Structure 1
């Protein structure tokens, strides 16, 4: 008997020394937040539930509240009585399932009014509760792209208002930027121009899943090689024409002088 008592105290002591003993109820939403949802598509949130061997899940509840806090209070979305598959939802586009230690919330036909902070609360058979939260926002298209110049650093900076997951790319004279033109920063927002002279058209395009928008910065006009060659040819032709005209005038003058000299010699011989 003394041995049983001793062993019982030892087990109890070990349970007390454990971080959460055999009662370790927890829940977390495995989606990386914030979650952005394209309007009209489906929102899917998955929650992972952890509990000890002596615990049983008695209820799982999904709720939503505004992110800004302007309209206080939570809106109940669905509840599940423990591991039962018969989850009940408060709206027709809401569907919740329970599988082993995971609960999945799906909302079809997502709209902006369904953005906010989502919460899942798990309750065990002893009344202990654990809650996890996740921010959900609407996926926004790209808006108001602009390009500004930093003269001191010879760089162009591309900005965008509030689009979700914006991707930046640069064009120079409608072609992809090369090393001869400049270097693009890792995030794509800045183009460091290394070409000289700083001239031509630089276009920044911002895109995401819903479309794209662009803006162009126009520097001083570039002097192309073709125009320089044409100017050189024109100058050469003008020089030839001027030289030919000058040579013709000198030739006419020389011929006129020779005729006058011959006429004078003829008159002297006659006299």
Structure 2
């Protein structure tokens, strides 16, 4: 009888202090953070709940608090509780649902006030809680693009203020950068100019889902380009002058020929 009691107590202690197996409940948000949301669209967060066979989820709640601040206040957005985990949002634009091992939160008509740190908390039947967090931020358009230069090394650097997921690209005289002009860094922010001489217009374009903006650095005019333009203009002017002189000579010759014919006919009539 003592042996049976001893074995039972051993089993109880093993279940109580088992690290993660039959008793450990966990939750983690599936979205890669930070999550950026375009204003007016919907925020969708998903979390996976894992619980052992000895555990039963009794309450699931979603909360939000500011990302920064000395005394951030949490706001409850939605709760799932009761038999069958019935869910309800605290605002008309907030929806939540609970699956077998997954919970999803949706906030429609997202605005900048909806940004912050989101938390999903899962509570089991014993009152034990576990929480996962996710940072949500507003998707910002591109702002204040600028180009700076390190003249000694012929390096152009493109900067952008606070746009979300900016994509950088470069143009030289409105044409994409080629090997003859230089090379662009992997992140697209830096242009290493190798062309000689360093001349022309270099434009940095920054874009994201909400639009684009650009900035241009203007170096000295390219000589070949200036000479070519000048040569074309000179040739055009010479052609105009030559054409005008030729037309005038032909017209004058034709005029004198007509006068000679009329004078010869007049003399014949007089004789």
User: What is the TM-score of this pair, normalised by structure 1?
Assistant: 0.79
Equivalenced residues, count? 234
The worse-fitting range, judged by mean Cα deviation, of 191-200 and 4-13 is 4-13
Residue 20 of structure 1 corresponds to 20
Residues 1:83 and 1:102: Cα distance change in structure 2 (over 3 Å): farther
Residue 38 of structure 2 corresponds to 38
Instruction: Within 5 Å, give how 1:1-271 maps onto structure 2.
Output: 8=8, 11-12=11-12, 15=15, 18-69=18-69, 72-81=72-81, 84=84, 86-224=86-224, 227=227
Q: CA RMSD in A?
A: 2.4
Residues 1:152 and 1:226: Cα distance change in structure 2 (over 3 Å): closer
User: In structure 2, what is the Cα distance between the partners aligned to 1:198 and 1:115?
Assistant: 46
SS of structure 2 residue aligned to 1:152: coil
Verify the 8 A CA contact 2:64 2:118 in the aligned structure 1: yes
Verify the 8 A CA contact 2:15 2:23 in the aligned structure 1: no
User: What is the TM-score of this pair, normalised by structure 2?
Assistant: 0.79
SS of structure 2 residue aligned to 1:119: strand
Residues 1:126 and 1:225: Cα distance change in structure 2 (over 3 Å): closer
User: In structure 1, what is the Cα distance between the partners aligned to 2:161 and 2:226?
Assistant: 40
Verify the 8 A CA contact 2:87 2:97 in the aligned structure 1: yes
Verify the 8 A CA contact 1:83 1:98 in the aligned structure 2: no
1:4-38 Cα offsets, whole Å, 9 max, x none, are: 56764664565467423421011111111110000
1:143-201 Cα offsets, whole Å, 9 max, x none, are: 00000001222110000000000000000000000011000000000000000000000
Residue 263 of structure 1 corresponds to none
Which consecutive residues of structure 1, in runs of 5 or more, have no partner in the other structure?
Answer: 235-271
